[in-house]
Amino acid sequence: MSWNPLTPPDQRGRTIVVTGATAGIGYFAAEQLAGAGAHVVLASRSPAKLAAARRAIRDQVDGAEVDTVTLDLAAPDSVADAVRSLSAFPRLDGLLLNGGAMQRDTKPTAWGVPTILGTHVVANVALVAGLLPALIAGGDAGRPSRIVHASSGFVDRAGLDVSEVQAIPRRWVVAYTKAKTVTEVFAFELERRLRTADAPVISLVSRPGVGVDARTPERAGVRDASTPRQRNPFTPWAQGKDSAAWSAVRAMTDPAAQGGELYAPAGAFRGAPVRRDPNPSTSTPDAVLAQSVWDQLEALAGSRIAIESPTR
């Protein structure tokens, strides 16, 4: 179908949670979803930044319905508290797993693994385990709930081994890429299990391309003169973080989207969001490898993902 990223389909009546929603791609995804009529729940660790992001969205979108939940992806107790808070909403229709710390920190988090793996993967597994019952209850065959996992184009370029999830590469960019590779394996395996259970939830992957501060529009308290800018050598070829959010928003809202699909910019670094063929190494790995990664992630998260159809 033709797709205009500036006018996503009507999302009125849907409640969508966005993690990492106080800045960058997560903020703009939340703003765009609110603009389409969704009730958006911003989830991030700073109450002050959550309040600023909520104000910014309401400044941009008349009548926006925005709530906030405090969520520190590095802290299991915070994730558990957020699951309880989010499960108390009357319904949940979407979960955009965008959050994750970008610090070059090798110290173990409370998950027992370094920050990149803990916040980009393990915490998301715990969130899925905790919120899946509410997402199943909110979906139906005609309009299933959606889980969108944020990944990276680096996955295709690196071809990393994920058989040992906790084996963390020393170089930060490689550790980040491995975390996103594991994310994709988990996302596609989750989709297979959801289909086996005939559950009214679909699992998709989005990749943002390259979004840079220099091309990102300002939002008071979120992206303005008071917030630091990061220099990026790809700026001449890149897009703003508002445009980098388009792939995730399409994955969350396109009525034609199917579970197991991957959305990314049309160009190498930027462009309108299009459906792309996922990497076979993450989308159709050896069944033994997929089971092993799944088991390792459940053990690290201390959570079992129970998938049951509401009809069973």
Q: Which residues contact 10 (CB under 8 A, 6 or more apart)?
A: 36, 37
In 94-227, beta strands by DSSP E: 94-97, 145-150, 201-206
Distance of CA 25 to the CA centre of its chain: 10
- Per annotation, catalytic residue among 27, 28, 111, 176: 176
Judged by DSSP in three states, 210 sits in coil
CA gap 146, 257 in Å, rounded:
10
Tell me the residue ranges of DSSP E strands in 48-178.
Answer: 65-70, 94-97, 145-150
CA–CA separation, 107 vs 276, rounded Å?
36
Q: Rounded to whole angstroms, how far apart are CA atoms 281 and 130?
A: 27
E strand or H helix at 180, and its extent? helix 172-196
Classified as helix, coil or strand, 220 is coil
Closest-CA residue to 136 (of 214, 221, 194, 66): 194
Q: Is 263 a catalytic residue?
A: no
Active site residues: 176
